[in-house]
Amino acid sequence: MKLSIEALVSGYGVVDVLHGVSIEIAEGEVVAVIGPNGAGKSTLLRTISGMVAARSGTIRYEGSEIGGLTSSEIPRLGLVHVPEARHVFGRLTVEQNLVVGASAAPAGTDRKDALAEVYDLFPMLGQKARDLAGGLSGGQQQMLAIGRALMARPSMIMLDEPSLGLAPLVVEQMYEALDGLRRTGLTILLVEQDVYMALDFASRAYVLENGGIALAGASAALVNDDHVRRSYLGI
């Protein structure tokens, strides 16, 4: 199993946000986590990536426990996180932002090859390689954030609300690029507020409500689930 989480509890201060969450993701699988605002979706990704400390439970990546590792150690294992709100370095150029991501790449990685692959996936980044990242549009910054994560040459990527605040055409372009990544066999864990899009892109999904898993199953089955249709699809 690529990623296995059992009975995970985490939160902020004295408040628990996740209450015994368990999920599994196989090698090469694309899995979505959907649910209402405040359900704990972003906290789940932050806990997996070491940004938030787990209070109990286990997080195993490729069979090894990673729950005690830091957010700088985990990307070096091949598991990267693209957080909500992009967090690009506005005063650095596009290419400088990408090079920062390469710092977590395995030893011996050819940085030029990695850059070429990112520019092939997102041609706009190559066109704006010398531009300051702070001057990019929201959609361009999102592509840059994903490209920076890919510079680490990961085998699994976690995406937190990649379509948030973006124009429909930009979202379509971004998901076309993500589909290309999916076809390479990259394992993807996706948190997405657009439930239709999440279930269309992922093969399986978990529904997170009030910090716990309420439903799980194949995306095709969840699209037709009465609770999902009423609560998230407006049907």
Tens digit of each residue's pLDDT (9 = 90 or more) over 181-224: 999 999 999 999 899 999 999 999 999 999 999 999 999 999 99
pLDDT for the residue numbered 206: 98
Average pLDDT value for residue range 153-161: 96
- Measure CA of the first residue to CA of the last residue in the chain; give whole Å: 35
At residue 82, the pLDDT reads 96
CA-derived radius of gyration, the chain: 17
CA distance readout (Å), 89 to 85, 94, 145, 178: 12, 9, 10, 22
Q: Spell out the domains of the chain, with CATH numbers in brackets.
A: 1-78+157-178+189-235 (3.40.50.300), 86-154 (no CATH)
Reported as a single tens digit per residue, the pLDDT across 43-56 is: 999 999 999 999 99
Confidence band for 234, pLDDT divided at 50, 70 and 90: confident
pLDDT, one tens digit per residue, over 77-90 is 999 999 987 789 99
Cβ contacts of residue 45 below 8 Å, gap of 6+?
81, 83, 158, 160, 189, 191
Euclidean distance between CA atoms 157 and 118, whole angstroms: 14
Q: Contacts by 220-229 with C-beta closer than 8 Å and gap 24+? A: 223/199, 228/34, 228/195
HSE of 53, CA atoms in CB hemisphere, 13 A: 6
Residue 8 has pLDDT above 90, yes or no: yes
Determine the Cα–Cα distance for residues 122 and 176; give it in Å rounded to an integer.
Answer: 10
CA dihedral over 180, 198, 186, 143, signed as positive or negative? positive
CA of 57: how far to CAs of 33, 93, 143, 161, 202, in Å? 19, 40, 33, 25, 25
The residue with greater pLDDT, 195 or 107, is: 195
CA–chain centroid gap for 42, Å, is 9
Identify the pLDDT of residue 191.
Answer: 97
Structure-block tokens of residue 76: 């070096």
What pTM did the predictor assign?
0.94
For residues 15-22, average pLDDT? 97
The CA-based angle 34-105-129, given to 5 degrees, is 85
In this structure, what token pair is assigned to residue 226?
């009465």
Q: Residue 17: what pLDDT?
A: 98
Give the model's pLDDT for residue 110.
Answer: 87
pLDDT, position 41 = 97
**What's the mean pLDDT in 104-131?**
92
Strand bridging mode 79-82 / 3-12: unpaired
Whole-number percent of the chain with pLDDT over 90: 89
Q: What is the mean pLDDT of the chain?
A: 94
What is the structure's pLDDT at 99? 95
Top-confidence residue, 234 or 159: 159
